[in-house]
Structure 1
């Protein structure tokens, strides 16, 4: 708790320092261009498309990298599950045969039924044992997949952002293709704006298409209420 409180204080002071520095450097408020609902919708759909492409690229890499290892670890569990399914099928078949037969149950029939029940119990124990043995390795594989997917999503999102896919820059006033007002007057503020835009866009794209779809849904709700 103490470390978290200390981090919160340091973080808050850092934000305050950034605000003071920006004010001291003369950063002015931005003049945003008039934007239609159609333009905003087009931008969000474009971001969603880029995010979908990034997600697919990440899925392909992660599957190729981790699925063979996952299958190797699961192999004993898969075999145990197959044996259990076979034992349960044999038990079900014998029960159905008895149910549809008018012949009296003999001692051999009862012995066979006990063998089938024992086979099912043994198979279930084998599944439980295999599941316990594979749980930790599979957890490590899942954790590795999550780390790899997060890293690649952020990397591809950053690459797309650095290549020119931006969010905030679409709404700043332009005249003849040149920035106007505050950004045109201060090169430092222009660089700060572009860095902020690139970072925010990278994070939005790294968040995936689902997050952007939520933004689209929120935008539609706002539009219908205006």
Structure 2
């Protein structure tokens, strides 16, 4: 496959996922039929079937795309942190921890941090509409485990940077519940913004490992 063909295929895949996400958010999960998604994406139903052979494949791609994007944002924070250390600049791990946690909150778009409310709404709609789907359940479990791991890493790093003893398991669970609660609050209240979430998470980090 030549580079231009690969680029076109990748673009059509992105267009299809964007269309599906928009339909789910605007009209509900039932609106994300093959015909509707294809029409919204400006392609034929046959072309969409070529990209995603089944409805499940489309929904799974939506979840995998969101997870990959989140991982990329987290990796970028790690990259900047490592670059700062290698350059001999001081790094405030508390600030790094806050930035890492904010990558999984829905305040992206318009210069904000993390994903977007629309992306999260689409993910929740897909998962709740297909609770018995084993493939979707596997992705949900993997995503949850990744978030749990991030929270545990944050607590361990915070404890090491602060020189205090912290119950990692309890601290990680507290952060995970807080992260989930913030995401749901952002969905139900458009006025709840990034600054609110950042302030709440910063307070939680200070409670877990008080400044000395």
Question: Normalised by the size of structure 2, how large is the TM-score?
Answer: 0.28
| CA radius of gyration, larger in | 1
- Which has more helix, going by share of residues? 1
Higher relative contact order (CA 8 A, sep 6+): 1
